Amino acid sequence: MQDSLFGDTPQPDQTLCEGAVVLGGYARRLDPVIGGLLEALAQDAPFRQMETPGGRKMSVAMTNCGGSGWVSDRAGYRYEGRDPLTGRPWPEMPAPLRDLARDSATQAGFTGFDPDACLINQYLPGARLSLHQDKDEADFSQPIVSVSLGLSAVFLFGGLSRADPVRKIGLEHSDVVVWGGPSRLRYHGISPVKEGDHALLGRRRINLTFRRVL
Ligand code: MD6
Ligand code: FE
């Protein structure tokens, strides 16, 4: 991981199954700007641990940028145009992030992806995300682009029903997963993040997921 931080060795693309591909190291172009971008975004819309509809506090801290932001509270999961914490619209999606998401989708064979939502997940060591489907979006023909940054993680990749077998995929700093088509509604999650200290982002894992919501 450390070796590839600012390196430019191309990593092979790894197809997980039809519609889901890992673009190894594809987000490396963000390295010079990502720290500053995250800091500015979190100033405007702070990371916060949201509540599940069942009333449990999530271990992952979240914020958003773009026209629509994903939120969870006792009323359920949904997208909102404003940050409930501040009452302001979510910060604009920075061009370097939007461009990376578009290019990643194109690289994976999904042309014309134009994201209006970027969910930003922050995992401190120990934080996890239990198996779930992403189904709060209107149009499942649009892919999701997911960018892993900072500490590495084990991505749990299941099937279309919760009981299906789960594969474990290691994701490192700057790996991008694009998934859509027949994989769009697969169950997935993140194992508890291990302790560590990343050269660029410190003691945390950041995940950006880009979607087309409206
Ligand atoms: C994460 N990712 O990597 C959590 N969802 O931190 C997701 O939940 C996810 O990576 C939809 C599509 C891609 C993802
Ligand atoms: Fe998800």
For 177-208, what is each residue's pLDDT tens digit?
999 989 999 999 999 999 999 999 999 999 99
Nearest CA to 103 out of 40, 28, 12 is that of: 28
Q: Quote the ligand 1 centre to 4 CA distance (angstroms).
A: 22
**3 is a domain residue:** no
Tally the domains of the chain. Answer: 1
Q: What is the pLDDT at residue 75? A: 96
Q: Which atom of ligand 1 is nearest to the CA of 171?
A: 3
**179 is a domain residue:** yes
**2 is a domain residue:** no
| 17-38: pLDDT as tens digits | 888 999 999 999 999 999 999 9
Q: What is the mean pLDDT of residues 142-148?
A: 97
**164 is a domain residue:** yes
How many Å apart are CA 211 and CA 50, to the nearest integer? 19
Q: Which atom of ligand 1 is nearest to the CA of 121?
A: 6
Residue in 23, 70, 146 to alter for ligand 1 test, most ligand atoms within 8 A of Cβ: 146
Q: Quote the ligand 2 centre to 12 CA distance (angstroms).
A: 23
| 102-140: pLDDT as tens digits | 999 999 999 999 999 999 999 999 999 999 999 999 889
Do 208 and 69 meet the contact criterion of CB atoms below 8 Å apart? Answer: no
**6 is a domain residue:** no
**4 is a domain residue:** no
Three-state SS letters, 8-28: CCCCCEEEEECCEEEECCCCH
**62 is a domain residue:** yes
Phi-psi region of 11 (alpha: psi -120 to 50; beta: other; left: phi over 0): beta
| Boundaries of domain holding 67 | 14-211
Measured from the alpha carbon of residue 21, the closest ligand is 1
pTM for the predicted model, two decimal places: 0.94
Q: What is the pLDDT at residue 2? A: 45
Q: Quote the ligand 1 centre to 6 CA distance (angstroms).
A: 24
**153 is a domain residue:** yes
CA angle 118, 124, 130 (to 5 degrees): 70
Measured from the alpha carbon of residue 211, the closest ligand is 1
Q: Quote the ligand 2 centre to 189 CA distance (angstroms).
A: 7
Q: What is the pLDDT at residue 83? A: 98
Q: What is the pLDDT at residue 139? A: 87
Which CATH number does the domain housing residue 31 bear? 2.60.120.590
| 54-100: pLDDT as tens digits | 999 999 999 999 999 999 999 999 999 999 999 999 999 999 999 99
Binding-site residues, ligand 1, Cβ < 6 A? 121, 129, 134, 144, 146, 177, 179, 188, 190, 207, 209
